[in-house]
Chain A
Amino acid sequence: MNPTDERESPEIFGSCPLPIFEHPQIVLGHGSGGKLSAELIDKVFVSRFSNPTLERMDDQAALEIGGARLAFTTDSFVVTPLFFPGGDIGSLAVNGTVNDLAMGGAKPLYLSAAFILEEGMPTVELERIVDSMRTAADIAGVQIVTGDTKVVNRGKGDKVFINTSGIGVLDRATRLSADGAQPGDKILLNGYLGDHGITILSQRENLEFECDLRSDCASLSGLVQAMLDEAEAAGALDAIRCMRDPTRGGAASTLNEIAGRSRVGMSLVEDRIPVREAVRGACELLGLDPMYVANEGKLLAVVAPELAERLLAVMRAHPLGADASMIGEVVATHPGMVTMKTGIGGTRVVDLLFGEQLPRIC
């Protein structure tokens, strides 16, 4: 038999699966940090809000007000469960915004906090979250100076959603931006990938698996300041081209974004990318790739080659960078594309994820 010869009537043209990129309604993948998110931001938001500050598309807006350079950012937090090993939605909400400011080279100063509470949420849980926010703010050296609360009907929220906005001061002559990477630059990472995402996954209903992982949720401000100090001391602040925290969408999404914005290629070495055993194991089991798993205390820095070793040493001397690694370099070939030398010596492309990372069937 010849199965291919069975296709006959050409009238079935046009029965192809519909393009599902243009969803007429929001799907979960729009929040994944992958291609769907990028498309939504581009088509719905950037096109309408368009202005030069926004179009730089960094994690924070750099503003000049009355002679002072300020960084401004905002982020919303929805996570289930609210409490998890290594953190909770409160510490996440503070550190997430602090980190977005820090990645722009700013010293984070003030935060706002807005809460959307669901009717019926135990007050004691809210208190626990707010206590955790206070602690995180103290550690990061920021103050929460304004806020808001709203309550929605039971069933209209997931206990609590938090939005935080933050302001920091850009007190050094930095110009960190995703379009700053240059061929020859080195790519630094401050430690293990995927701890946060897999910790959260391990706590989900229907998927409880036991592991001793903790979220890496932390303020990266101190680490960033240490790196900036070192660069400044070397008289080469511009040697740090770009810093990003690879949160949802993981390191792969962040690096693709930088490669695209800077019109350069990136070449990574799989063996140099730190991933814990437990994370690797969970990813193997579930068919996920740690490169796409979320982090909440990780930093990717693209730096000039001549300062790379010194900056790596500074990272390693910091408590949040003890396992820092130089994971690859920026190249002039294949602009916009991230490749990886695999453990067995092959090469593969590390592409931007389409939507949510889905467990494979087998």
Chain B
Amino acid sequence: MKYLDEYRDGGIAKKLVDEIARVQTKPWVIMEVCGGQTHSIVKNGIDHLLPKAIELVHGPGCPVCVTPLDMIDKAHAIARQPEVIFCSFGDMLRVPGSTGDLFTIKSLGGDVRVVYSPIDCLKIARANPGKQVVFFAIGFETTSPANAMLAWRAQQDGVTNVSLLVSHVLVPPAIEAILSSPRNRVQGYLGPGHVCAVVGYSEYEPLAARFHVPIVVSGFEPLDILEGILMVVRQLESGRAEVENQYSRVLSREGNPAAQKLIEKVFEVSDRKWRGVGLIPKSGLKLRAEFSAWDAELRYDVAAIDTQESEICIAGEILQGIKKPHDCPAFGTDCTPQHPLGATMVSAEGACAAYYAYGRHLAEPELVNIGGGA
């Protein structure tokens, strides 16, 4: 397929792998920030191809995973209201709250719908004037322009029977939290390509300088990831710590100004809780006061919901690259996609779920060594 096959070529992959092996002299720990990158790495078996001394650890960039449990419970409380049509991105439907998931609510008569674009909610709202349409607006910077557009259009068009339950998070504060931890092992980053397509990557420059880590903003296809790793390893080996752009066919340093303007208009930075990690100051977005009429958290009485998370789950450490799914005694036994104990097992993009789906069967040595762990 055009624009994809070019980035999945086995011959070029081999050349990149050989080059990584040639350049690398010391062991390095590299974190891919995005859940989409984790998915691609495990799905394509990229980690199996790398030299053993290059360890990939999986970052916090799975939007479904990091949405805190209390927010999921709030969503479920709203979705159970008889007058509500609850709209969500698809993979949020299976994320369990304290009692079941959105599928359960649907099976008990709730009107839960998958939308591909948040704007579809306006269409649904207009077609159902007697109903309240609530959109679960989650995600990183990547989904924020589309989510902002829903609030903006609702305000412009005066659509009142639609609202947003916002749980937006930002990547740079999460990277900063990981790098600030005394237990941090991460020496270099594959930066989030689609996030930076929206907001650019100038925000990452102070991080690279302050913590002296290379950050290579990378795409999601196998060759993108391999090239990104090569660029990180080159920097590490030569002692550089810069922000570089592997994904230049998609993004520039400035990102998308029109999208940024819209985000700025609709959202403001706020403190956010991350599932498995806890509160990170100024790490998310909330609706500005001018849009409070479209804020589902204000429209529905859910403020009292404050569910706590499981303590046996090591998702917090996995999301920070301190541990791997296999380090968890519950992985694949007590904790599976059917019985998730925590954040990283609940979405296909979560590190534990990706391991489980693509590499959990550990009978064979070449499959055991996922992540290239030393």
A residues with a Cβ closer than 8 A to B are 1-4, 6-7, 10, 12-21, 23, 25-29, 35, 206-207, 271, 277, 280-281, 284, 286-287, 333-334, 337, 339, 342-349, 351, 354-355, 358-362
Contact = CB atoms under 8 A, between A and B. Distances in A.
A15 B90 contact: no
Contact of A28 (B106, B177, B180): B106
A4 B277 contact: yes
B75 interface: no
B82 to A, nearest CB: 17
Interface in B29-55: 36, 39, 42-49
Kindly name the residue among A6, A26, A271 whose own CB sees the greatest number of chain B CB atoms within 10 A: A6
Given A3-B316, A7-B278, A333-B364, A361 B46 contact: no
Contacts of A13: 310-312
A7 B108 CA distance: 35
A4 B358 contact: no
Please tell me the size bucket of the interface on B.
Answer: 35 or more
Given A4-B277, A27-B103, A346-B48, 15 more contacts: A3-B279, A13-B311, A15-B69, A206-B113, A284-B1, A287-B90, A337-B363, A345-B13, A345-B45, A348-B42, A349-B361, A358-B90, A360-B90, A361-B349, A362-B140
A7 B366 CA distance: 36
12 contacts: A1-B181, A2-B182, A12-B311, A16-B312, A19-B339, A20-B104, A28-B103, A287-B90, A333-B364, A343-B9, A349-B367, A358-B94
Given A26-B107, A206-B120, A16 B313 contact: yes
Interface of B: 1, 4, 8-10, 13-14, 36, 39, 42-49, 63-64, 69, 89-94, 96-101, 103-104, 106-108, 113-116, 120, 123, 138-140, 142-143, 177, 180-183, 194, 222-223, 274, 277-280, 307-313, 316-317, 320, 322, 337-342, 346-349, 356-361, 363-364, 366-367
Nearest to B72: A17
B139 A362 contact: yes
Contact of B9 (A206, A339, A344): A344
Contacts of B357: 349, 351
Contacts of B96: 17-18, 20
Contacts of A284: 1, 4
Contacts of A345: 10, 13-14, 45, 49
Contact of A15 (B4, B139, B308): B308
Given A359-B116, A361-B139, A17 B277 contact: no
Contacts of B342: 16-17
B338 A354 contact: yes
Contacts of A346: 44-49, 222
Contacts of B45: 342, 344-348
B348 A347 contact: no
B32 to A, nearest CB: 14
Nearest to B176: A1
Contacts of A15: 69, 98, 307-310
B41 to A, nearest CB: 9
A40 to B, nearest CB: 13
B358 A348 contact: yes
Contacts of A206: 113, 115-116, 120, 123
A28 B113 CA distance: 13
B234 to A, nearest CB: 20
Contact of A347 (B36, B39, B274, B366): B366
A4 B317 contact: yes
A3 B10 contact: no
A105 to B, nearest CB: 32
B311 A3 contact: no
Contact of A360 (B280, B307, B348): B348
Contacts of A343: 8-10, 44, 222
A361 B143 contact: yes
A18 B107 contact: no
Contacts of A354: 94, 337-338
A362 B183 contact: no
B341 A16 contact: yes
A344 B183 CA distance: 34
Contacts of B346: 17
Nearest to A361: B89
Contacts of B4: 280, 284
B1 A361 contact: no
A25 B44 CA distance: 36
B302 to A, nearest CB: 18
Given A281-B1, A342-B44, A25 B108 contact: yes
- The 6 A-B residue pairs with the shortest CB-CB distance, nearest first, are A346-B45, A17-B96, A16-B310, A359-B90, A12-B308, A344-B13
B91 A358 contact: yes
B107 A27 contact: yes
B100 A20 contact: yes
Nearest to B34: A362
B367 A347 contact: yes
Contacts of A207: 116
Contacts of A342: 43-45, 222
B44 A4 contact: no
Contacts of B338: 19-21, 35, 354
Contacts of A7: 278, 311, 316
Nearest to A1: B180
Nearest to A340: B45
Contacts of A28: 103, 106-107
Contacts of A347: 45, 48, 366-367
A30 to B, nearest CB: 9
A215 B51 CA distance: 44
A29 B143 contact: no
B348 to A, nearest CB: 6
B116 to A, nearest CB: 6
Nearest to B358: A348
Contacts of B310: 12-17
B46 A344 contact: yes
B293 to A, nearest CB: 26
Nearest to B140: A362
A10 B312 CA distance: 9
Nearest to A206: B120
